[in-house]
Amino acid sequence: MDVLDWILLAIRWAHALAAVAWVGGGIFYLMVLRPAIQRATGRAKALPPEITRTIGVEFRGLVTTAIAVLLLTGVILSASRLTEDAVTSPYVAVLVVKIVLALYMFYVVRFMRQDSYPEEQDLGGSMWQRLRGRLTGTTALLVIGIVVIGLSDVLDGLLESALVS
């Protein structure tokens, strides 16, 4: 491996670490922290607002850093992969889906949400308000994040298959 290969390896590692930190934090919040606090406080649905705000403020720093790292490393990795001869149309199609889903997550967190992890919003109101609440909620972003990480494995498999061919 030459120096460029080592640099790309470090960039891939940073990209994966940022994704795992964000998605792993979401899994921890939804499956461990929120249920534990709900049991401790006796509240069935919502965390106390001051706890939600504190968690949101603390986690926002991690999410903001993760987004910056993912954007920077994602551009570099995409440019590196797309210049290889082994890239196929299915690879490009999966990459586009991954990028669109990741950009949607970035947009929701940056422009549509005040807190990093607000409780699922009251789904009252019109059908469109309920749909918007579901598509921008914490659980939806976590599911999308898991799909994006899975698409990374699909991309690796597609590239490996193309290299073997």
| Structure confidence at residue 131 (pLDDT) | 80
| Structure confidence at residue 44 (pLDDT) | 60
| Mean pLDDT score of the chain | 87
How many helices, marked H, and strands, marked E, lie in the chain? 6, 0
Rg of the Cα atoms in the chain: 18
Q: What is the DSSP letter of 55?
A: H
| Structure confidence at residue 111 (pLDDT) | 84
Q: How many angstroms separate the Cα of 25 from the Cα of each of 53, 116, 139, 146?
A: 16, 11, 12, 12
Instruction: Report whether 151 contacts 92 (CB < 8 A).
Output: no
The amino acid that residue 56 corresponds to is G
Span 91-100, average pLDDT? 97
| Structure confidence at residue 157 (pLDDT) | 94
How many Å apart are CA 140 and CA 163, to the nearest integer?
35
Cβ count within 10 A of residue 43:
11
Q: What is the pLDDT of residues 135-157, one digit of tens each?
A: 888 889 999 999 999 999 999 99
Q: Is the pLDDT of residue 91 over 90?
A: yes
Q: What is the pLDDT of residues 15-52, one digit of tens each?
A: 999 999 999 998 998 899 878 877 887 766 666 678 77
